[in-house]
Structure 1
């Protein structure tokens, strides 16, 4: 499930993620990405993962397709989570992109919000 978070930063997609993300969830994020890049901006992300279990198979495939199409359109990424695998996923993302990627523990989410807003 995706619950978008209101933000004042025009190029930021901020959301709370929980459960498993499916294909429709990822298509919703893809639309947000286009809304930002159509204005000529790089896309920053703030993803707060609480009780997040990952993706359905179709959701994972949609995420891979979206990232492959837009990897050069991404700016900063803040991943906020509560599980070791989420930290590893953030490190893997950092390896495959030129974006600035940071992982924060859930207890440090305010620090993550400050960092992504800079």
Structure 2
């Protein structure tokens, strides 16, 4: 499940993901990123993984392709999580993002939000 957070505005997309992410969830997420980039020319991302259990492999691959194609259009990207694989995922996608990805633990979510809101 993907929940768009109220901090979403301008070029900032803030989401909380939980449960099991499906192709439909990633379709919704990619559409929102494309909307931000179309409207503002870039996108900053706050991506909080709360009780995230599983990501469908096909959905993850489609999302990775979006990152490869558009990753250089992203500004700051903050990923927030609480599991070792969450941090590993942030490190895995970091090289394709213009500004990389900064990982924060769940207890640091407020710091992560402030950091990503600072923009460039």
Q: Residues 85 and 99 (structure 1 numbering): CA distance in 2 closer, same or farther, change over 3 Å?
A: same
Q: Name stretches of at least 5 consecutive residues in structure 2 with no aligned partner.
A: none
Q: How many residues align?
A: 118
1:1-118 pair list within 5 angstroms: 1-7=1-7, 9-118=9-118
Between 106-115 and 2-11, report the one with greater CA deviation.
2-11
Q: Is the 8 A contact 1:2 1:17 kept in 2?
A: yes
Unpaired segments of 5 or more residues in structure 1?
A: none
2 CA distance for matches of 1:65 and 1:101?
16
TM-score normalised per structure 2: 0.88
Cα distance between partner residues in 2 of 1:14 and 1:36 = 11
Alignment check: 8 A CA contact 2:11 2:40 kept? no
Q: Deviations over 1:12-31 (max 9, x none)?
A: 11111111211111111111
Q: 1:93 to 1:8 in 2, by over 3 A?
A: closer
Deviation of residue 8 (structure 1)? 5.5
The 8 Å contact of residues 9 and 117 in structure 1, kept in 2 or not, is answered as: no
Task: Spell out, residue by residue over 1:30-67, the C-alpha distance to the aligned partner (whole angstroms, 9 max, x if none).
Answer: 11122111124211110111111241122112212221
Two-structure CA RMSD over aligned residues (Å): 1.5
